[in-house]
Amino acid sequence: MRIRNAGEPWWRVYIAAATVGVALLGAAVASSAARQTPPMSVGRAARAVVAGAETFLLGEAQALAGPRIRAVSPMPDGPYALIVREIPDEPQGALPEEASGGRPFHNGEVQVLLWNRRTQRVSVMWRKRADARTAVYVDIPEWFPGSGTALLGIGTQRLDGPSPGGNSSEDLPEPETAYYVVNVRSTAATRLPIPVARLRIMAPDQPFAVLCDSPPDSEDGNTAWSSFRVLGADGSVSSPLPLPEGASPIGALTADASALVVRLPRKPGERSLRYAAVRVSDGAVTALDKLPENASNAKQAMLQSIADLPVRLVGRPATLTDGSGARETVHAVWLERNDASSQPAGAPPTPTQPPPDTTKPVSDRAPVRRDELTLVTPDGEALMLTPDGGAALYLNRDGTLMAVPLERMETGAFLTARREAQKAQTLQNAKQIALGVLMYTMDYDEVLPPATGVEGIIAPYLRSSDVFNNPTTGAPGFRFVLPGGGPMGKIEKPAATVLGYLEGPGGRAVIYVDGHVTWEDAK
C-alpha cells in the first residue's frame, strides 16, 4: 500500500516549495512526469572562454534553419545573416541517405532567409520552387558594407526545354540569371534590371560592388575582360568603363576602395607580374610596381575581422568513451582563445600570425588552459563566428544551422562573479549535506551517521553526490570531522559543534550539527 506522502492537498506542497525557493516546475516535473525522462541538462554551469582581457560567455543554442543549409553570410557590421537553404521533397521518416551534393537543385524549395540576432527571428526573404522541370541556383549572398543590403545572384534553368543538341545535360538551355538586392529594413528582395556580370567584387567598407564583364562575343572566358560597372547598394549601376586591354581583375580593390586592382599581361621577355589600379569613378589607370598588400574585398575584410577576434571556432575530432568501454570518435566544435589575436584591445593591427595547427598532437602545442576553451557541441561542424563576435554558428549532425549567442565581459569581473557563484554553490551544497545528515539522524533514532563512508550513507537523502565535490576543482572536498555514530542528543551545543567542512574557492564552508553553515576564508 502506498500511503500518500504529504497526505495534504497540493497547495501545501507547492506553497512550501515556493517558500524555500525551489524551482517549482523542475521539482514537480522531476517527481512526476519526468520519471521516464530525468531532468535535463540545462542546468549545467555557464560556459565561458577566457581570452585575455575579455571573457566570452556562451548562451543557449538556437536552431536557425533546418537542413539543408547551402550558405551562410553574416553581415559584416550588423546583427543579421543571410542563409541559403534547400528543402528537398523527401518524405518524412525516409531512410537516411547521402546528401545529394550535386547541383542543380530540382526537387524542393530554395529559400533565402534573414536571421536577426537581436530579435532571434528568422524570416523568409525569397523562395522559389525547384522541380523536375526547373533547377534553381542561388549564389552566396554578399553584403554591401554599411548599407543593410546584400546582393544575391540567382539562376533558374529549364530542365525539360527543347535541347538543341540532343538529350545530354551539356545541351540544356542557358540558365536565366539575375541579381537581387535584399534589404534588411524592408525584408524584401528586389530584382535588378541588369545582366549578371561574370565577376563581382564587393568593395571593402564601402556600399558598392564592381561588376566585371567579358566581351559579348568572347568564348575564352578565362582571359578576356572588357569592361566594368559600379553597382550601388541602392541598385543603381554606372555606365560601363573599359578595362585595360588584356587586364584581369584579381578580385580585390585598393584599401580605400577607390580603384580596382588588375593584373596586366606580361610583355615579351618580362618575368615579373605587372599590376595596375583602375579608378572606379572614371576608369583612370595607374601602374603599380607590385601587388598592393592591402588590396581587399568585402569578404576578405570580414574574414580578417573574424580572424582578429580574441576567440575562434574550431571543429576537430574528439574521442568519446564511457564506463562500459564504449568508444566513439565524434567531431566536436570548440570555442577557444585565438592565439593569433592575443594583443590587447586597442593595439594597432599587426599582420596576421599563423594560427597554431589544431591538428597537431598535444605534445607539440602550447598547453591550453582549461578556461580558454569550451565545448560548443560534441558533434557538429564549425562554421564561423559572426564578425562582431556576437554569435557562433555551427551545423548539427543533421545539418541544422545553430547559433550560440556570445556575450563579452571583462575577465576580471567574470572571474570575480564566477568565484562568488562557486562560493554560493559551496555553501548551498554544504547546506544540503547538513540536511542530509539531519534527515538520516531523524530516521535512525537520533543517532549520527558513522564517521567513515558518510557520503554513501547519506546519499539517499541528497539530490546528487556532486554536492560532496569542490565546485572549483570538481574534486572531492567534503570532510566529516565528528566522531560519528553517537546519539545527537549528547552534543551539548549543536550550533557550535562542527560536523564537517566542504572545500570551495579560496576557503571552505563550515557545517554545524544543527544544520547551519558558515564560510571560512583560507588563511
Is residue 169 within 8 Å of 102, Cβ to Cβ? no
Site string for other proteins, 254-293 (x = CB under 8 A): ----------------------------------------
What are the cell numbers at 291? 601587388
Q: In the range 357-376, which residues lie near other proteins by CB under 8 A?
A: 358-362, 365, 367-368, 370, 373, 375
Q: Which residue has the cell 598535444?
A: 362
Identified binder of other proteins from the candidate list 184, 384, 488, 511, rule CB under 8 A:
384
Quick one: which segment of 58-66, 225-233, 436-444, 496-504 binds other proteins (CB under 8 A)? 58-66
- Burial label, 205 (beta-carbon count in 10 A; 0-12, 13-18, 19+): middle
Q: How far is the CB of 355 from other proteins (least distance, A)?
A: 4
Please give the order of strands across the beta sheet that includes 199-202. 199-202, 208-213, 227-232, 241-242
Q: How far is Cα of residue 364 from the mean position of the Cα atoms in its chain? A: 27
63 in contact with other proteins (CB under 8 A) = yes
Identified binder of other proteins from the candidate list 81, 82, 144, 200, rule CB under 8 A:
200
Quick one: which segment of 228-236, 379-387, 449-457, 487-495 binds other proteins (CB under 8 A)? 379-387
Task: Output Rg (C-alpha) for the chain, integer angstroms.
Answer: 32
Count of CB atoms situated within 10 Å of the CB of 41: 6
240 in contact with other proteins (CB under 8 A) = no
Identified binder of other proteins from the candidate list 82, 182, 201, 482, rule CB under 8 A:
201
φ/ψ of residue 149, rounded to 5: -130, 160
Asked if residue 369 has a cis previous peptide bond (ω within 30° of 0), the answer is: no
β-sheet bridge partners, residue 447: 487
Please report, as a single letter, which amino acid is at residue 429.
N
Q: How far is the CB of 433 from other proteins (least distance, A)?
A: 16
Give the DSSP H/E element, type plus range, for residue 431.
helix 411-443
φ/ψ of residue 240, rounded to 5: -65, 140
Please report, as a single letter, which amino acid is at residue 179.
Y
Q: In the range 208-227, which residues lie near other proteins by CB under 8 A?
A: 221
Quick one: which segment of 233-241, 324-332, 441-449, 508-516 binds other proteins (CB under 8 A)? 324-332
Quick one: which segment of 30-38, 278-286, 492-500, 506-514 binds other proteins (CB under 8 A)? 30-38
Distances (CA, A) of 101 to 43, 69, 90, 336: 38, 11, 15, 31
323 in contact with other proteins (CB under 8 A) = yes
What are the cell numbers at 504? 570551495
Please give the order of strands across the beta sheet that includes 274-279. 248-253, 259-264, 274-279, 285-288
476 in contact with other proteins (CB under 8 A) = no
198 in contact with other proteins (CB under 8 A) = yes
Q: How far is the CB of 269 from other proteins (least distance, A)?
A: 27
β-sheet bridge partners, residue 228: 212, 241
Q: Which residue has the cell 599582420?
A: 351
Site string for other proteins, 159-188 (x = CB under 8 A): ----------xxxxxxx-x-----------
Question: What is the 3 state secondary structure string of 440-503?
Answer: HHHHCCCECCECCCHHHHCHHHCCCHHHHECCCCCCECEEECCCECCEHHHCCCHHHCEEEEEE
* Helices 24-31 and 10-20, axial angle in degrees (round to 10): 130
Quick one: which segment of 14-22, 105-113, 265-273, 454-462 binds other proteins (CB under 8 A)? 14-22
Quick one: which segment of 265-273, 275-283, 399-407, 445-453 binds other proteins (CB under 8 A)? 399-407
With respect to other proteins, which residue has the nearer C-beta, 45 or 287?
A: 45
With respect to other proteins, which residue has the nearer C-beta, 13 or 439?
A: 13
Q: How far is the CB of 282 from other proteins (least distance, A)?
A: 24
Quick one: which segment of 181-189, 223-231, 276-284, 301-309 binds other proteins (CB under 8 A)? 301-309
3-state secondary structure of 508: strand
CA separation for the pair 320, 332 (Å, rounded):
10
Identified binder of other proteins from the candidate list 397, 410, 465, 516, rule CB under 8 A:
397
Q: In the range 129-158, which residues lie near other proteins by CB under 8 A?
A: 137, 139-140, 142, 153, 155, 157
Quick one: which segment of 13-21, 186-194, 269-277, 483-491 binds other proteins (CB under 8 A)? 13-21
With respect to other proteins, which residue has the nearer C-beta, 307 or 447?
A: 307
Q: In the range 86-115, which residues lie near other proteins by CB under 8 A?
A: 92-96, 98-99, 101, 103-104
With respect to other proteins, which residue has the nearer C-beta, 251 or 515?
A: 251
Q: How far is the CB of 400 from other proteins (least distance, A)?
A: 6
Q: Regarding beta strands 478-480 and 498-504, do their DSSP bridges make them parallel or antiparallel, or are they unpaired?
A: antiparallel
325 in contact with other proteins (CB under 8 A) = yes
What are the cell numbers at 273? 607580374
Q: How far is the CB of 138 from other proteins (least distance, A)?
A: 9
